[in-house]
A and B are shown apart, each in its own frame.
Chain A
C-alpha cells in the first residue's frame, strides 16, 4: 500500500480506489478504551461491514468517521478528507443513517426528504427516492405514524438526498422484525448498482454475511480479523460438518477408511463427519450404502461468521444476534 495520503485529491472529486483510510484510530473515555488503535481501509464501491457485539466500538468508530466524535489519537481520511480538518467536505459528500433514524415527528415522508435535501442544498428526485425505498403509499404519512421498518427505509432515502459517494449505515436493521430486515437488506444491496460505497456496522452476523464484500470483526475496541467474508470463514471457521442422525457406531470406522474424521455421539446416536475438500459427500453416502449402514436423516452444517467470531474471541455473537 502506498504511503501517499489520499488527501492529495484536494476535493477534485477524483481519487484512487480508497474510500476510507483509518490509521491507528483511538478513542478513550478516561480509563475506558472504546476504540484501540484500529487501522483499515475501505475500497470504493464495496460494502464493508463492521461486525461485533454491542459495546465493541462499532458506533464510536463510525461516529468518528462521520465527524461526530473527536478521536483521541490516530488519523482517518474519508473520501480523501481528513476527519479532523475537513468536516464540511465530508458531510457534503457522505450520507448517514444513524441507529434508529428520527426526525421531526409531524413532517410527512415527502416533507422529511425535502427538508434534508434542503439542508444539503441539493435537488434530488424526491419521488424517485420514495420509490427506491418503496414508500410510495406512505409518502403523505407523518413520521410519527411510521413503524420502525418504515422509518429506517425513510432514513435510507434521507441518507441518499445528497447523492453521496459513501453511505454510513449504523446498525440499519437493529430491532426490526425479520421481514422488515430483509426489505432493508434488499435496499442496501441495491447500493451496489448505484456504485456507492457502504460502511455498515452490525451485530447480526447474518447481515454481514449477506451484504458485505468484506467484514472487519471488532471486539473490545480492536479489529481481530478483516477479510472477504468467505475467506474469513475458510480461515477461521470450523470445517463444514455432515451429521448422520440415528445411525450406528459402525459408521465411524467406515467413514474413517476414507481418510476423514468422524465421531459417534452415544447419547443421540448421531455421527458427525468433519468434511474437507478431499472427499465428496456422495462418496461418504456411497460407502455407507455399500456397508449397509442405515441413518434416519442427513444434515449439512455450513460454517458461518458465527464460528469465526467464536473462534477468534471465545465468545458467542449468537445470543445478541438472535432475531
Chain B
C-alpha cells in the first residue's frame, strides 16, 4: 500500500505542476458552465411565450382555456404575447421567428370536460410550436408542462396534454440540466486522457520498463492511477458544484449515489483509456483515438442538449454510450431526486467500470513478451 501512496503523491505533485492539465480538468469545465449557463439560463430575464387561444365563444375565452392562460401568466416566468386566434399560428411563428408558441385549439374546453367525465379516456391537447435549435424553448416547454400538471389538479389521471413534444426536465432550467452533464463529461475526459497519455507515453519512453525493475507491482500502479483519476474528478465536481451554488443559486443534492457514480465513472473511463492505449501504441495516435471516442460521446450522451431534442437514430446511439448513463444518473441523483433511477444507472456504470478496469489492467503490460 505504501507504494500506492508514494505513486499517488508523485502523480498529484505532477498534476499541480502541470498548468495545461489543471486548465483542461478544472478551468475549462468551469468556463463551459459559466458560458453556457449565462447564455441559456437567462435567470434574470423572462422567456417569451406566444399564445393563441382558438377556444373562444363570442370573443370570450372558455373556462378551461382561460384558466390555462391565467396560470401561465401567474408563473411570472413569461412575457406572454397573445396571437390573433383567426390567423394561421404556425405560419405566423415561422415568419416572425418565434421560438415558443402555444396553441389552445377550439373545442379545448369541451374536450377537457369530456376527459373529466370519462376519467381520462380522452386527453385535451394543446399544441406547442417551438424552435428546436434553441434550448430556451425546452425550458419554456417544461414550464408550460408543469403548469398543465397543476391545472388538471390530479396526479393519477391525465386530462391535459401537450401535443407534438417530448418532455425536457421538469421545472428546471438549462443549468440544472447542464451542470451534472459537465461533471460526467469531466470525469470521462480526465480519466480517459490521463490513462491514455500515461499508458502510451510511459510505454514508449520506457517509464514502465524502469518501474518494472522495481518492486512496485503493476496492480499497485493501476490502483494509484485510478485513485488519482477519482480524486481529480472529485476536485472538478467540487468546483463545479460550488459554481452552481454560488453563481446560479442551484439547488443541488450531493449524496452517496452521485459520489459513487463519479468514482465508478472514473474507474470505467480509466479502464477504457488503458484499453485504447493498448491497441494504439504510438502516444499521438492514442491521443487521437481518445479524442475520437470521447468527443462524439460528449455530444451524443446528452451533456449539452437533452437527448429528447435529438433525432431518433441519435437517441438510439446514445442508449449504448456509457456517458449517457453517467449524465442521466448524476442528473437523477443531484437535481431530480430520482433515487431509484440514480441507483440503477450507478449500478450499470459500476458493472461496466469493474469490467473495463479489469480488462484494461489485464492487457496493459509492462514487460515484453
Which chain A residues have a beta carbon within 8 Å of chain B's beta carbons? 29, 63, 66-70, 88, 91-92, 94, 96, 98-107, 111, 115-116, 118-121, 142, 158
Question: Are B214 and A101 neighbours in the complex by a CB distance under 8 Å?
Answer: no
Q: Tally B residues with Cβ within 8 Å of A.
A: 25
CB distance from A94 to the nearest CB of B (A): 8
Question: Are A106 and B369 neighbours in the complex by a CB distance under 8 Å?
Answer: no
A119-B3 Cα distance, complex, nearest whole Å = 6
* Nearest CB in chain B to that of A101: its residue: B210
A158-B367 Cα distance, complex, nearest whole Å = 20
Minimum-distance CB pairs A-B, first 4: A96-B213, A119-B214, A102-B205, A106-B17
A29, A68, A107: the one within 8 Å of B212 (CB): A68
Question: Are B13 and A111 neighbours in the complex by a CB distance under 8 Å?
Answer: yes
Pair count A-B, CB < 8 A: 72
B10, B11, B213, B216: the one within 8 Å of A66 (CB): B213
Verify if B18 is at the interface (C-beta below 8 Å from A).
yes
B205, B213, B215: the one within 8 Å of A68 (CB): B213
A67, A102, A104: the one within 8 Å of B206 (CB): A102
The B1-32 residues at the A interface (CB cut-off 8 A) are 2-3, 6-7, 10-11, 13-14, 17-18
Question: Are A121 and B215 neighbours in the complex by a CB distance under 8 Å?
Answer: yes
A91-B216 Cα distance, complex, nearest whole Å = 10
A141-B152 Cα distance, complex, nearest whole Å = 71
B2, B18, B215: the one within 8 Å of A92 (CB): B215
A92, A96, A107, A120: the one within 8 Å of B210 (CB): A96
Offer 20 A-B interface pairs, CB within 8 angstroms, sorted by A. Answer: A67-B213, A68-B209, A68-B368, A69-B369, A70-B367, A91-B213, A91-B214, A92-B215, A100-B206, A101-B206, A103-B207, A106-B18, A115-B6, A115-B10, A116-B214, A118-B2, A118-B3, A118-B6, A119-B214, A120-B215
CB distance from B135 to the nearest CB of A (A): 40
B6, B7, B10, B368: the one within 8 Å of A63 (CB): B368
A88, A102, A118, A142: the one within 8 Å of B207 (CB): A102
Q: Which residues of A contact B7 (CB under 8 A)?
A: 115
Q: Which residues of A contact B13 (CB under 8 A)?
A: 106-107, 111
Q: Which residues of A contact B206 (CB under 8 A)?
A: 98-102
Q: Which residues of A contact B10 (CB under 8 A)?
A: 104, 107, 111, 115
The B212-239 residues at the A interface (CB cut-off 8 A) are 212-216
Question: Are B209 and A98 neighbours in the complex by a CB distance under 8 Å?
Answer: yes
Question: Are A119 and B368 neighbours in the complex by a CB distance under 8 Å?
Answer: no
A232-B215 Cα distance, complex, nearest whole Å = 38
* Nearest CB in chain B to that of A158: its residue: B210
* Nearest CB in chain B to that of A60: its residue: B368
* Nearest CB in chain A to that of B11: its residue: A104
A100-B367 Cα distance, complex, nearest whole Å = 17
A205-B45 Cα distance, complex, nearest whole Å = 79
Knowing that A111-B13, A119-B214 are A-B contacts, what are 11 other residue pairs whose CB atoms are under 8 Å apart, sorted by A's residue number? Answer: A66-B213, A67-B213, A68-B213, A69-B369, A70-B367, A91-B215, A98-B210, A98-B213, A100-B205, A102-B207, A102-B210
Q: Which residues of A contact B6 (CB under 8 A)?
A: 115, 118-119
A98-B14 Cα distance, complex, nearest whole Å = 22
Chain A CB count within 10 A is highest, among B10, B212, B213, for B213
A6-B188 Cα distance, complex, nearest whole Å = 52
CB distance from A265 to the nearest CB of B (A): 49
Q: A102-B205, A115-B6 are in contact. Are A142 and B210 (CB under 8 A)?
A: no
Q: Which residues of A contact B368 (CB under 8 A)?
A: 63, 68-69
A183-B264 Cα distance, complex, nearest whole Å = 50
Q: Which residues of B contact A111 (CB under 8 A)?
A: 10, 13
Question: Are A103 and B215 neighbours in the complex by a CB distance under 8 Å?
Answer: no
CB distance from B268 to the nearest CB of A (A): 25
Q: Mark B108-137, 1 if CB is under 8 A from A, else 0.
A: 000000000000000000000000000000
CB distance from B212 to the nearest CB of A (A): 6
Question: Are A142 and B17 neighbours in the complex by a CB distance under 8 Å?
Answer: yes
Question: Are B205 and A104 neighbours in the complex by a CB distance under 8 Å?
Answer: no
CB distance from A34 to the nearest CB of B (A): 11
Q: Which residues of A contact B18 (CB under 8 A)?
A: 106
A96-B216 Cα distance, complex, nearest whole Å = 14
* Nearest CB in chain B to that of A29: its residue: B369
Question: Are A106 and B2 neighbours in the complex by a CB distance under 8 Å?
Answer: no
The B69-96 residues at the A interface (CB cut-off 8 A) are none
A244-B214 Cα distance, complex, nearest whole Å = 56
Q: Which residues of B contact A105 (CB under 8 A)?
A: 14
Q: A91-B215, A115-B10, A121-B215 are in contact. Are A103 and B367 (CB under 8 A)?
A: no
* Nearest CB in chain B to that of A107: its residue: B10
Chain B CB count within 10 A is highest, among A105, A118, A121, for A118
Q: A106-B13, A106-B17, A107-B14 are in contact. Are A120 and B369 (CB under 8 A)?
A: no
Q: Mark B169-211, 1 if CB is under 8 A from A, else 0.
A: 0000000000000000000000000000000000001110111
A118-B220 Cα distance, complex, nearest whole Å = 13
Question: Are A88 and B215 neighbours in the complex by a CB distance under 8 Å?
Answer: yes
A116-B215 Cα distance, complex, nearest whole Å = 10
CB distance from A99 to the nearest CB of B (A): 7
CB distance from A62 to the nearest CB of B (A): 11
A63-B215 Cα distance, complex, nearest whole Å = 16
Q: Which residues of A contact B211 (CB under 8 A)?
A: 119
Q: Which residues of A contact B2 (CB under 8 A)?
A: 118, 121
Chain A CB count within 10 A is highest, among B2, B6, B210, B368, for B210
